[in-house]
Structure 1
Amino acid sequence: MRLVAALLVAMSLATPAGAQGWATSWAASVQGPYPTGNPSAQPDQRFAFPDPARGASDQTLRLVLRPSLWGREVRLRFSNAFGTRPLTLDGVQIGLQLGGATLVPGSNQPVRFAGRDSLTLPPGDSAWSDPVALAFVPEAGAGTMQGRKLAVSLHVAGESGPMTWHAKALQTSYATPPGAGSVGHEEGEGAFPFSTASWFFLDALDVRAPAGTPVVLCFGDSITDGTASTLNGDDRWPDVLNRRLVARFGNRVAVVNAGIGGNQIAGPAEYSPQRPFPGGPAAGQRLERDVLSLSGVTTVVWLEGINDFSRNGNAEVGTVQAAMRDTVARLRAGVPGVRVIGATVTSALGTEGQAHGFREQDEKRSALNDFIRNGGVFDAVIDFDAATLDPATGGLRPEMVPDSTTGGPGDRLHPNRAGYLAMGNSIDLGALLPGLR
């Protein structure tokens, strides 16, 4: 259950001692169906998923994820949001990753759904699992698990059909060959020869935490999703923010990434399995699923807009400003008391051979940034533009251009690890979570 105004940090003082609630600790905003999307550093998927129309077929996926907040009890949300036929999952397990697809011995345990071993999701639906007690998390000091990664194994019974996914995981996960059956109970990696840099069907993880635990949700496009950061390096700016909060407050704050590569504020006007778009549904179209339905959200940081002004978006500034204002109003209505922080959009000037980087786009970006800073829509502003701008060129600072994952020249649109580090370090923690001590 999503808490409302009582989730504000200052209100936590009025919460009865020992009261617990769900807090989202990790999420992966869904899109699709596969292969529509913008993955990064993706291995060849032909052997794991030979036919996208058939999807996964009697095979097991082992999805690796890093919680930002740890607890001894978790639940998982599975999604068939962009499927076109019922999806049946069984043999779902959760364990602690040792390395690759191998689990820490003895950590793997089953996940159930209303007491059953399987879950069938109609097209468009999602569902939470039953709570799972993680025996491997210490009774005292769940924060000692910070930085560790979970492995969620799931078996697709029969054929999934078109697959709901999150394209740009920048985290290696694993798959068996089609027809391999349910092998999620196995701790070793021998059954999982194929790798993927995407997440499928799984879109959120909650942990049981003290009521009022702050949950900071980072909403946006590829620059929040982490394009050009380091594969498996956890170098996105929300990751940097998470580490700063852990250093300051310990295991007391969650940071959730709700970015989708290529996402827009105002477009596309329509999104469906029959008419998908690589950047996923527009911000307002996905607000309920990716923000409002998550648990315990107290603060939203919104960084988005550059794609609206690309040659793919072609939006007018006024259209984007109106869509941003409307989405913030819906957000405040859906989560009373939520703190909404606007982040200025970073430069794409000088990008070559793409839909970005031209002068008119940069002029629109500057106008949107002025609206974010001075429009009175947000509770506070994070100036990512100032943290990354090279005054001499109007583009990204030179050291922030080379791509971190591939070692290539970079695209002058996505900051690399150095850029994301500067962005994450530029955030005023006091403005982000006023009152937290």
Structure 2
Amino acid sequence: MSSTPSSPPVLAHVTPAPTAEAMFPTSGPAVWQGAWTTPVMRPSAAPWFETWAEQGFTDQSLRQVVRVHSGGTQVRIRLSNAYGPTPLHLTGATIGRTATSAAVHPDTMRTLRFAGSTSTTVPAKGRIVSDPVTLPTEPLERLTVSLYFKEATGPATYHQLSMTTTYRAAGDHHRDPSATAYTDMVQPAYGSWYYLEGVETSGKHRLPRAVVTFGDSLTDGFGATIDGDDRYPDILAQRLLAAGRPRPVLNAGIGSNKLLSDSALGGDAGIARFTRDVLDQPNVGAVIVLMGVNDIQQTEAPAPGPGHEATPVTAQQLIDGHRTLIRAAHAGGVRAIGATLIPYRGAAGWSAAGEVIRAQVNQWMRTSGEYDTVVDFACALDPDGTGSIRKDLHTGDNIHPNPAGYQAMADAIDLAALGR
């Protein structure tokens, strides 16, 4: 599905959602902090690599590994059935510290309950949060979430590009600490996450407010190391921790995502999903917005296939789209940080006309003062101003950073500019 944006784009058509803490209250004095998140998508045929989204799961266990950016004494998870037309029946779930591959340290495995029950039903197009379990965690620690679906799920709400291995086993193995049964995996491609939307931690004190990184594949981490946690948001979290300023960095990137229009491959438009994927996160203080390259590079000669529909845009439409996000962030008390659009000369979607649009958007971003501050990712990846990403900083496709490129992006961020 694709739509051509009007000018100016507005966020008014999006039904405001309650905050995560209002939606998922918990008793007692616990204060919840977002530790990890991923934006969910509707299942679709993926031209990049095979996923399990369209077929879903029947009498299968699913094991997913995430790295949390905040620690605490308790943990809980959020599950999403946002794109499910029917209720999702979950038979059982566990969480524990990751050992190696699909194995879990046995003494840390905890049974997850939902309103006191080991099974639950997630409403069609709905979300649900687990009850808290006691599980001490540290920042940058990996946790493994196991889900067992006895009944057929139908097509699965998911996140397509995880750059992390997800494992599957036949039958009920969600309580098994060993990896023996988990012989099926989304590898050697790029991995996906299914139904798991968030992990939250709680401790004695609330951390400084979270930073949400909002964008497309450059934020999602295409080109990073599989299971290496070296996307730019990961490295930013590491920098904050090393500097003695720990705070969660929540990755809200979707590969192929566009700011102004929906895409079969890239999910809902940025202006449509901003409330859910940024403002609904618990205790958010700042958002870094890196969006617009996909809108531009598909203006001329789009590649064939789903998710690559032609959507002509102008610089003014993109600027108005960014203004929409700035207004929404400020209305929610969130600091809005703009990120300049990176160069991509040499990539398949580059055009001279698109380069003019990119330059105009970046000029507005750098000089208008409308964002609270600006991170110059374009300069970080192209320090000599050639119009192309430096050869040692991309994967070979002239648009996606490699781990060194993601390091350069994270290093370009002034930690003090993130606010508190």
Deviation at 1:173, TM superposition (A): 1.6
Kindly provide the CA deviation profile for residues 208-264 of structure 1, in whole angstroms up to 9, marking residues without a partner as x: 1423532011000000001111111111111111110010126x3111100000111
Residue 177 (structure 2) pairs with residue 187 (structure 1): yes
Residue 407 of structure 1 is matched in structure 2 by none
Match of 2:296 in 1: 309
Q: Which residue of 1 aligns with 2:317?
A: 319
Paired residues for 1:176-215 under 5 Å: 176-177=169-170, 180=171, 182-196=172-186, 197-209=191-203, 210-211=205-206, 213-215=208-210
Partner of 1:406: none
Structure 1 263/110 Cα, relative in aligned 2: closer, same or farther at 3 Å? Answer: same
- Partners of 2:258 and 2:286 lie apart in 1 by 20
In the TM superposition, what is the alpha-carbon distance from 1:389 to its structure 2 partner? 1.1
Q: Name the Cα RMSD after superposition.
A: 2.0
Q: 1:387 deviation in Å?
A: 0.6
Shift of 1:147: 3.2
Can you list the C-alpha shifts for 1:295-321, whole angstroms capped at 9, x where unaligned?
A: 000111111110010224321111111
**Structure 1: 4+ residue segments shifted above 6 A:** none
What's the secondary structure of 1:288's corresponding residue? Answer: helix
- Equivalent of 1:346, from 327, 342, 345? 342
Q: Equivalents in 1 of 2:385, 2:233: separation in Å?
A: 28
Amino acid at match of 1:221: D
How do 1:24-423 and structure 2 match up within 5 A?
Answer: 24-36=34-46, 45=51, 49=52, 53-134=54-135, 137=136, 145-177=138-170, 180=171, 182-196=172-186, 197-209=191-203, 210-211=205-206, 213-249=208-244, 252-268=246-262, 277-311=264-298, 312-333=310-331, 335-336=332-333, 338-351=334-347, 354=348, 356-389=349-382, 391=384, 393-401=386-394, 403=395, 410-423=396-409
**Given the superposition, is the C-alpha separation of residues 212 and 148 from structure 1 closer, same or farther in structure 2, using an over 3 Å criterion?**
closer
Match of 2:305 in 1: none
Secondary structure of the structure 2 residue equivalent to 1:249: coil
Distance 1:53 1:217 in 2: 29
The alpha-carbon deviation at position 424 of structure 1 amounts to 0.4
Q: Give the structure 1 partner of residue 3 of structure 2.
A: none
Mark the runs of 5 or more structure 2 residues left unpaired by the alignment. 1-18, 23-28, 299-309
Q: Distance in 2 between matches of 1:299 and 1:314?
A: 30
Instruction: Measure how far apart 1:122 and its partner are.
Output: 2.3
Deviations 1:327-361 (A, max 9, x none): 2212222x22x11110111111111xx3x222111
Distance 1:383 1:147 in 2: 26
Letter in 1 for 2:329: L
Alpha-carbon separation, structure 2, partners of 1:193 and 1:77: 26
SS in structure 1 opposite 2:147? Answer: strand
Q: d(CA) in 1 for partners of 2:365 and 2:120?
A: 43
The whole-number CA distance in structure 2 between the counterparts of 1:37 and 1:342 is: 30
SS of the aligned residue for 2:293 comes to coil
Partner of 2:322, secondary structure, is helix
- Closer, same or farther in 2 for the Cα pair 1:111/1:3, shift >3 Å? closer
Identity of aligned residues (%): 34
Look up the equivalent residue of 2:297 and give its one-letter code: S
Aligned-partner Cα distance in 2 for 1:396–1:322: 26
Q: CA deviation at 1:132?
A: 1.5
TM-score (norm 1): 0.83
Matches of 1:34 and 1:106, distance apart in 2: 38
> Could you say if the C-alpha distance between residues 254 and 284 of structure 1 is closer, same or farther in structure 2, counting changes exceeding 3 Å?
same
- Structure 1 unaligned regions, length at least 5: 5-18, 269-275, 404-409
1:2–1:200 distance in 2 versus 1, CA, 3 Å: closer
| Superposed displacement of residue 36, structure 1 | 4.2
Tell me the residue number matched to 1:10.
none
**Does the C-alpha gap of structure 1 residues 241 and 54 become closer, same or farther in structure 2, counting only changes over 3 Å?**
closer
In structure 2, relative to structure 1, the CA distance for the partners of 1:103 and 1:298 (3 Å cut) is same
Instruction: Give the match's secondary structure for 2:185.
Output: strand
Q: Does the C-alpha gap of structure 1 residues 87 and 304 become closer, same or farther in structure 2, counting only changes over 3 Å? A: same
Contact 2:69 2:248 in 1 (8 A): yes
Question: Which one-letter code corresponds to 1:120 in the other structure?
Answer: T
Is the 2:70–2:140 Cα contact (8 Å) retained in structure 1?
Answer: no
Deviations 1:50-96 (A, max 9, x none): xx654211211001000011111111110011112211112100011
SS of the residue corresponding to residue 151 of structure 2 reads strand
Asked if the contact 1:30–1:203 (Cα under 8 Å) also holds between the matched residues in 2, the reply is yes
Answer yes or no: is the 8 Å Cα contact 1:63–1:151 preserved in 2: yes
The DSSP-based 3-state class of the residue aligned with 1:158 is coil
